[in-house]
Amino acid sequence: MFAYTIKRLLTLIPTLFAASVLVFAFIHLIPGDPVAVLLGDTATPEEIAALSAEMGLDEPIYIQYAYWLGNVMQGDLGRSIFFQEPVTRVIADGAETSILLALMTMVWIVVLGVPIGVIAATRHGGWIDQIASGGAMFAASIPTFWLGLYLILIFAVTLGWLPSSGFPSVFDDGGLANLRYLLLPSLTLAAPNSALIIRLVRASMLDVQREDHVRTARAKGLHPAKVALKHVFRNALVAVAAAFGFTFAALISEAVVTETVFSLPGIGRLVVESILRRDYPVIQGVVLVIVCLYLVINLIVDLAYAWLDPRVSLK
């Protein structure tokens, strides 16, 4: 497994290189000028050109790429044109929020989605299954911005129990109690994602329930709960593991609507706003990090497959 992991990690290099070329090319192909955004509406084309030259943004694109790549090889993702801060610092600040938000959402998904999926599968066709499946469809259909705004209205404005928005770092005053800022956003994100997990767990368990080893276990007189958890659930998890992995990655990179509604300083919002500002170094840095994240999660999922199902070999 060690050799396999090293081999997979080495394949990250060409993938990251290809991703960096594509991102660099695409972002520079979009019309728009970061210096014009920075200087504001009254800046004249001459002023924009002068500052672009001072910042090296008037160089041919391949020269700019070579500079950027050379710096990246030394661990320097550059400096944000907009924030005038190192990109690594800007991303690190956003990553804390995104990772904690994704983890809290995953907790909701595991706590809500998995048990409901298991119960729905074991009560297949009954009223509990109907309610669970209907509820999952409903949760998957709710727009996150709508759910988020209503949760703010109920829990922040009316009841005053939770903060409406923002997220001070857990390293700031308040420490871990600052996680309360993420309760409503994580619940908002968990609703549609739990629905998917409920349906996936239910479908996987129903598939496994029809297999011979489950029939044998039942025939041997094992307790139905033991059959469901030990023989059905564990095997059903093989299919669910991949979904968990990619849901986690998506929660980090694609939570932009929730991050906007709750004003969270996360990665999704950072990348979207950086595109609007044409803050090239931040866009390139964030995309590189997200590509890395997906590749690593992909690797972890593959390793998890082998652990969950010994028939899967790592070659």
Partner 1 sequence: MTRRSPLLVAAATGLALLLGGTAFADGTMRYASIGEPPSLDQQVGTSDLSTTIAHHVFEGLYTFNGDYAPVPLLASGDTISDDGKTIVISLRDNVTFHNGKHMTSEDVVASLKRWGEFGSRGGLLFANVESVEATGEYEVTLKLTAPFGPWKNLLGFINGGAAIYPSEIAADAGGEPIAPENYIGTGPYKFVEWRPNRHIELARFEDYTSPPGDADGYGGARNAEFDTLQFVPVPDVGTRVSGLRAGDYDYAESIPGDLFEELDADEGVRTILNGGPIFGLVFMNSKEGPLKENFALRRAIQTAIDKVPALQVAIGPEKLWRANGSFLPEGNVWYTDSGIDNFSRGDAEAARAMAEEAGYAGEPIKLMVSTNYPFHYDSAVVYTKQLAEAGFNIDLQVYDWATLIQKRSQPDQWDLFVTHHGFVPDPILISVLNENYPGWWSTPEITELKAAFTATADPAKRQEIWADIQGLIYEQVPTMKTGDVYTYNIASPDLEGLESSTLVWPHFWNVSK
CB of 138 to partner 1, least distance (A): 22
Half-sphere exposure of 18 (CA within 13 A, CB side): 5
Is 179 an interacting residue with respect to partner 1 (CB under 8 A)?
A: yes
Is 101 an interacting residue with respect to partner 1 (CB under 8 A)?
A: no
Q: Which stretch binds partner 1 (CB under 8 A): 70-78, 167-175, 187-195, 294-302?
A: 167-175
Cβ–Cβ under 8 Å, residues 34 and 277: yes
For the chain, how big is the Rg over CA atoms in Å? Answer: 24
Residues 37-76 that bind partner 1 (CB under 8 A): 37-48, 50-51, 54-55
Write out the DSSP string of 99-129. HHHHHHHHHHIIIIIHHHHHHHHHTTTSHHH
Is 185 an interacting residue with respect to partner 1 (CB under 8 A)?
A: no
Crossing angle, helix 61-73 and helix 12-29, to 10 degrees? 140
Contacts 24+ apart (CB under 8 A), 263-266: 263/165, 263/166, 264/97, 264/101, 264/165, 264/166, 264/167, 264/181, 264/182, 264/185, 265/93, 265/94, 265/97, 265/167, 266/94, 266/97, 266/98, 266/101
Q: Is 73 helix (H, G, I), strand (E, B) or coil?
A: helix
Candidates 262, 286, 295, 297; binder of partner 1 (CB under 8 A) is: 262
CB of 273 to partner 1, least distance (A): 7
Residues 216-235 that bind partner 1 (CB under 8 A): none
Q: Which is nearer to partner 1, 117 or 185 (CB)?
A: 185
Q: Which is nearer to partner 1, 49 or 299 (CB)?
A: 49
Q: Which stretch binds partner 1 (CB under 8 A): 82-90, 116-124, 207-215, 296-304?
A: 82-90
Q: Which stretch binds partner 1 (CB under 8 A): 115-123, 126-134, 166-174, 227-235?
A: 166-174
Q: Compute the Cα dihedral for 93, 184, 157, 174 and give only its sign.
A: negative
Is 88 an interacting residue with respect to partner 1 (CB under 8 A)?
A: no
Residues within the interface to partner 1 (CB under 8 A): 30-34, 36-48, 50-51, 54-55, 80, 82-85, 90, 93-94, 145, 149, 152-153, 156-157, 160-169, 176-177, 179-180, 183, 260-266, 269-270, 273, 276-278
